[in-house]
Amino acid sequence: MPNTKLIISIVAFSLLLFCTSIIKNKTNIIEKNIIFYEKQIFTLEKELYESQLEFNYLTSPKILQEKLSFLTNDQFQSMSISKIYLDYKSFILDQKSFTKIIYEKTKK
């Protein structure tokens, strides 16, 4: 009787030890993947920040005006807000009304 209890204990202990090592290896792999992805996220966030900073700098009105004056000799003026279309539909409606006015003038 004592031999069977000892054998069952040893088998159970071995089985639990084996399962623990498998679980530990899998969690170690998962931790390495987490660290790898955290590094990737950090570099991507850094690139995003730098890109946003560069975009904000390059699209500032002062910089754009300097670039335009460097590239061309033309003088550009600011555009009023009323001439800026908020969406494509408003542009099309305005163009249709404009063409309708021109058509009526040429018809007379």
Question: CB–CB of 39/31 below 8 Å?
Answer: no
CA of 42: how far to CAs of 32, 35, 49, 95, in Å? 15, 10, 11, 47
Q: What is the pLDDT of residue 108?
A: 63
Q: What confidence tier does 100 reach under pLDDT thresholds 50, 70, 90?
A: low
DSSP classification of residue 82:
G
Higher pLDDT pick, 35 / 1: 35
pLDDT reading at 75 higher than 90 = no
pLDDT tens track for 23-56: 999 999 999 999 999 999 999 999 998 888 888 7
Q: Give the dihedral sign, CA 26/32/36/39.
A: positive
Report percent pLDDT > 90 for the chain. Answer: 39
Question: Two tokens at 65?
Answer: 């005006």
Mean pLDDT of 50-76: 75
Q: What is the pLDDT of residue 99?
A: 67
Per the prediction, the chain carries an average pLDDT of 82
